[in-house]
Structure 1
């Protein structure tokens, strides 16, 4: 293997690791949104959550990715609405549905 191929291979592996982590976070956010909708008695729409923002956040364990996912739901009273789920690393930090906000430690 040439010396030029090694940085390319490392970069490719880092990209694949980031992509897999992003897919896992999206699946987690979608599952959380669906559970939240069931608990609130509203219908989870579209079957998934979409990444709304991505940034680094400092935590006691070092830098982690902070991801905010949005999702749609339907309420008989209010119609189609938006909610959010916030993850820092793999930890749930906050979620919002309707005008109710829940913040976790």
Structure 2
């Protein structure tokens, strides 16, 4: 009986983590798309990939899950460049793009 309760609790925790992680990924994807639009570059593949997961304290000292996502973008349509977005909880902490070539129109 207690094993069943523990198993169901574990499944419930895994489901809650997964749904929260999906919401954070959606927020990160929208923020990345908006940032690429503002920087006048094209986000490639409309995809971000989780590359690191850890814990970090926010400005108030509260422990939050820190997620680092990577994405690719292009400034000219020919080269691919990498960028990262760091999420602390469900808030964007930073977006960094590697140096890229400017388009000469």
TM band (smaller chain): 0.7 to 0.9
Equivalent residue, structure 1, for 2:76: 76
Kindly report which structure 2 residues correspond to 1:84-103, keeping only aligned pairs within 5 A, or say none. Answer: 84-99=84-99
Q: CA deviation at 1:22?
A: 1.1
- Once the two structures are superposed, residues 11-52 of structure 1 have per-residue CA deviations (whole angstroms, 9 ceiling, x without a partner) of 000000111111111111111111111001111111121101
TM-score (norm 2): 0.85
Equivalent residue, structure 1, for 2:103: none
Of Structure 1 and Structure 2, the greater strand share is in 1
Q: CA deviation at 1:98?
A: 3.4
Cα RMSD of the aligned pairs, angstroms, is 1.8
Counterpart CA distance in 2 for 1:84 and 1:95 is: 6
User: How many residues in Structure 1 have an aligned counterpart in Structure 2?
Assistant: 99
Q: CA deviation at 1:10?
A: 0.6
Gaps of 5+ in 1: 101-105
Counterpart CA distance in 2 for 1:78 and 1:84 is: 20
TM-score (norm 1): 0.85
Counterpart CA distance in 1 for 2:77 and 2:44 is: 16
Q: Secondary structure at the match of 1:33?
A: helix
* Cα separation, partners in 2 of 1:8 and 1:75, compared to 1, 3 Å: same
